[in-house]
Amino acid sequence: MRFLDLAATSAAVSATSGRRAKVELLAAALRGLAPDEITAGSAYLAGELRQRQTGVGYASLRDLPPPAEQPVLTVADVDTAIDRIAAVSGAGSQARRRDLLGRLFAAATVDEQRLLIGLFNGELRQGAQAGLLADAIARAAEVPLPAVRRALLLAGDLKAVATTALTGGAAALGEITLRVGRPLAPMLAQSAPTVDEALTATGTPAVVDVKLDGIRIQVHRSGGEIAVFTRSLDEITSRVPEVVAAVRALPARELVLDGEAIALDATGRPRPFQETAARAATRGTAARGTAARGTAARGTTGRRAAGPSPTAGLSTEVTAEQSETEPVRSFGAAPVGPATPAHPGTGREAPTPAGPAPAQLPAPERPAPAAPAVRAAAESVGASVLTPYFFDLLHLDGTDLLDAPGRERWAALAGTVAAPHLVGRVTVESVLAASDAFAAALDAGQEGVVVKSPEAPYEAGRRGGGWIKVKPRHTLDLVVLAVEWGSGRRRGWLSNLHLGARDPDTGGFVMLGKTFKGLTDELLRWQTERFLGLAVERGDWVVRVRPEQVVEIAFDGVQTSSRYPGGMALRFARVVRYRDDKSAAEADTVDMVRAIRDGRVSG
C-alpha cells in the first residue's frame, strides 16, 4: 500500500465525525494492507509507531527537508526506514539518525510528512481510538466483533490482533488466550470525585483498596521463570529484583498477579514518586516481553529516548531508561517442583498460604515494611527498596480467573500471597465506612482509594464500571508564562502552556511545568489569539508572554523535579478554565504549592 493512501485515510478519519463512517474508512485501509504491512499499518492508523522508541524527539522534527512532489513511499518502506532510525546507537548516532530521518522526510509528500510528524511526536489525534479500530478490524476481516475485543484484551496489542484477524480469521483469534509470560492490558478504574458517588456506581457491599502512590506491576511466574511488566507492558524484571524475590517465595507453580510497587521510607510512608519511577524505568524495544506491545503506551514513540516532551515534569508514567542489552524473559519451561493445589472456586483445595492472609484485611495506616528477602534483593542493586503489593490474581496453576467475580479472585489471592504483600483492603457497607478508609489512605500519604464491586470480573484493557478510583483533586490558579506552538492537529495553534506560581518574595513567578491537557478546540482558538496579544517574544517553538493571564489548573499532586527552578512539578496537570476574574497578583503562591507537596494542605 502507498503510504500516501494511509495518510489520506488518517486525514479523512480526522475530518469525519460519524463513528460508522470512521470505521468504514479504517476497515478499507486495513483491507488494502499487504500481509507484511499489517503490523506497521495498523499501528499508524492507531496513531503510533510499531517501534515505540526511535530516538526522534521534538527538536529533530523542527528543521525538515522540503516535501517530495510525487509519492514514492509504501507502508513497508516507511516501516523499514523507521526500523533503521530506531536501531542507530553509539558514537555519532545523533548525526546518523538525523541523516536517516532527513532521507525519509525528503521522500515524503506534504500529506505524508504531516502523518509522519504526528506519529513521531505521538500527537496524531485523528479520532481512531482502540474501540474504533477493533470495530474496523472485525469489519475488514469479516469476523465477529466480540472475538476481536476478547483477543485484544488478552493480547494487549492491537497490531498483533489486526495481523491475526486479517491473516487467520476468527479461528486464529480464538487461539489467543491468557498466556503466562505474555502481559495483557490491565483493568483500569473509572473516576469519581467522592466515595459516595463511587459506591453509587459499585453498589454495596463493596471493597475499598488503598490506592498506592507507586507504579503498576503485572507479574508472571511459570515455575522458576518470573517476569515483571509495567502498565504499558514494558518488561522491567532485572530492575526490580525485590519483586522477583517476593513472587519466587509464593506457594504456586503458575501465577499472574496485578499490583503496585512502591518505595517507602523507614516509617512506611511513600518516598517521592521519582524514586519508584526511576527503578521501573525502561528503554527501547529490547526490554519488551515475549508478547505484545500495548496500546496503553500511546505517544511514547521517541519522546522518552530523545528529550523532553511538552508534558515533561508532569506525567508520572515511567519514562527513564533501561539497558538495551537486558535479556527478554522466556516461559514455557517445565514447572519447577511439585504442583501445588489450586485456589477456592476451582473445585480443588486452596494452597497453603505463605503466611496469615485473611480474605478481607483491615485497612492499615501504612503498608507493612518490606520482607527480609525483598530488602536483600534491593540491596543487590544498591537502590531504594521497592516493595510489591498485590490486589488481584488473574491466573493460578492452570486456571484463568479473568471471568471470575472479584470475591473469588481475591479469596484466591489471599490464599496465595502473604498479608505483608497485599494491598490494604476493607469491605464496607456504608458511605461512612468508605470515607473512613479514604481518610486513612490519605493520612498514610497514599493517593486515595479504589472502590470495587465484589461481583465484577477482571475487564482487561478497559475502565470497567466495577472499579472506581477516588483521589483528592487539587486546583490552583496559576499564571501562563509562555506557550508552545502545537503540532499534529494542533499545528497553527498555541497549545502547550508554561505554568507559573506567584513568588511573593520576588514579585515574579516560579515555573511548575507545562500542560496541554483539557484544551478544547474552542479554547485553543481563544488562547492563540489571547497569547499572541500578550507576546513579548515570538519564537518558532515558544511564544513568551506577559504574565497576566490566570488559568485554573487541576492536578493530582506535586512532585520534586530538577527540571524547573522551583524544584517542583505538578502531576497530571490539566486546564479547568481561564480565570478572567482574577489578576496575576491574585494567583496562588509558590508557598501554597510547597504546602500541597509537603501534605500540609489538601489543595
473: pLDDT strictly greater than 70: yes
With CA atoms as reference, report the closest residue to 252 among 327, 381, 357.
Answer: 357
Range with the poorest average pLDDT among 39-48, 221-230, 375-384, 554-563: 375-384
Q: Which residues contact 94 (CB under 8 A, 6 or more apart)?
A: none
Positive or negative: CA dihedral 572, 564, 598, 217:
positive
pLDDT (tens digit, 9 = 90+) per residue, 185-220? 889 898 888 899 999 999 999 999 999 988 999 999
| Residue 568 DSSP SS3 | strand
pLDDT (tens digit, 9 = 90+) per residue, 226-274? 999 998 888 999 999 999 999 999 999 999 999 999 988 777 777 777 6
Q: Which residues contact 159 (CB under 8 A, 6 or more apart)?
A: 38, 39, 40, 42, 43, 46, 50, 292, 293
Cα 480 to its chain centre, rounded Å, is 27
Question: How much is the average pLDDT of 103-128?
Answer: 87
Give me the active site residues, please: 211
| Alpha-carbon gap, residue 211 to 451, rounded angstroms | 10
H or E segment and range at residue 285? none
Where does the pLDDT of residue 112 fall: very low under 50, low under 70, confident under 90, or very high at 90 and above? Answer: very high
What is the pLDDT, as a whole number, of residue 451? 97
pLDDT (tens digit, 9 = 90+) per residue, 483-539? 999 988 888 999 999 999 999 888 899 999 999 988 888 899 999 999 999 999 999
| Alpha-carbon gap, residue 59 to 83, rounded angstroms | 20
Residues 258/300, Cβ–Cβ less than 8 Å = no
Cell numbers 498485590: residue: 390
pLDDT (tens digit, 9 = 90+) per residue, 212-224? 988 999 999 999 9
338: pLDDT strictly greater than 60: no
What is the pLDDT, as a whole number, of residue 379? 55
Residues 127/21, Cβ–Cβ less than 8 Å = no
Where does the pLDDT of residue 149 fall: very low under 50, low under 70, confident under 90, or very high at 90 and above? Answer: confident
Phi, psi of 18, deg, nearest 5? -75, 135
- Residue extents of the structural domains in the chain: 3-174, 188-290+328-470, 474-597
What is the pLDDT, as a whole number, of residue 507? 87
Question: How much is the average pLDDT of 51-69?
Answer: 88
What is the pLDDT, as a whole number, of residue 325? 28
28: pLDDT strictly greater than 50: yes
With a pLDDT cut of 70, the percent of the chain lying above it is: 81
Class of domain 3-174: mainly alpha
What is the pLDDT, as a whole number, of residue 342? 33
Which of the two residues, 352 and 232, has the higher pLDDT score? 232
Instruction: Say which CATH architecture domain 188-290+328-470 belongs to.
Output: 2-Layer Sandwich (3.30)
What is the pLDDT, as a whole number, of residue 281? 66
CA–CA distances in Å: residue 341 to residues 288, 395, 411: 31, 13, 14
Looking at domain 474-597, its CATH superfamily turns out to be Nucleic acid-binding proteins (2.40.50.140)
Mean pLDDT of the chain: 81
Where does the pLDDT of residue 58 fall: very low under 50, low under 70, confident under 90, or very high at 90 and above? Answer: confident
pTM of the model: 0.60
What is the pLDDT, as a whole number, of residue 347? 32
Cell numbers placing 541: 517553538
pLDDT (tens digit, 9 = 90+) per residue, 283-337? 433 333 333 333 333 223 333 222 222 222 222 222 222 222 233 333 432 222 3
| Alpha-carbon gap, residue 427 to 221, rounded angstroms | 29
358: pLDDT strictly greater than 90: no
The pairing of beta strand 425-428 with beta strand 550-555: unpaired
Question: How much is the average pLDDT of 141-159?
Answer: 88
Cell numbers 496453576: residue: 397
- Our CA dihedral for 77, 83, 84, 88, rounded to 10 degrees, sits at 160
pLDDT (tens digit, 9 = 90+) per residue, 411-459? 999 999 999 999 999 999 999 999 999 988 887 878 889 999 999 999 8
CA–CA distances in Å: residue 392 to residues 104, 254, 457, 521: 45, 14, 11, 40
What is the pLDDT, as a whole number, of residue 351? 33
